[in-house]
Amino acid sequence: MMDFKDRERGEEAKFAFDEENAFKIAARRNRLLGEWAAGLMNLSEEETDAYKKAVVQADFEEAGDEDVVRKLLGDLTAADCDVSEADIRAKLSECSVEARRQFMGEARDGQV
């Protein structure tokens, strides 16, 4: 019976670990995406730092990526940037790959 309980605790720990890593990767992706959008809007360094945090915060509004896409589309449109929803989604995908690559590299190097 202890083997089953040990296995169950191991599975729960792995699930928690995987969820934590997914959260960290999504936050990193959103910071990268915010930095890209801030560059398009010609924000200052201080404004860029604040904007990246705002994009990360926007991801807490609802499950999925729609809240982030909606925020960026609204902000970029208001700033008269010629960016479509498809452009944002493509950049979101690109930033997801880059965030995972960075995270895995840091995990491999023991920095996470």
Number of domains in the chain: 1
Q: What is the CATH number of the domain that holds 92?
A: 1.10.790.20
Asked if the structure places residue 18 within a domain, the reply is no
Q: Say which residue, 110 or 71, is predicted with more confidence.
A: 71
Asked if the structure places residue 37 within a domain, the reply is yes
Asked if the structure places residue 73 within a domain, the reply is yes
Asked if the structure places residue 94 within a domain, the reply is yes
Rounded Cα–Cα distance for residues 26 and 93 (Å): 11
Asked if the structure places residue 83 within a domain, the reply is yes
30 within 8 A of 98, measured Cβ to Cβ? no
Q: Say which residue, 1 or 110, is predicted with more confidence.
A: 110
Range of the domain at 43: 26-108
Asked if the structure places residue 38 within a domain, the reply is yes
pLDDT the model gives residue 2 = 64
pLDDT in tens, 44-94: 999 999 999 999 999 888 888 999 999 999 999 999 999 999 999 999 999
Asked if the structure places residue 52 within a domain, the reply is yes
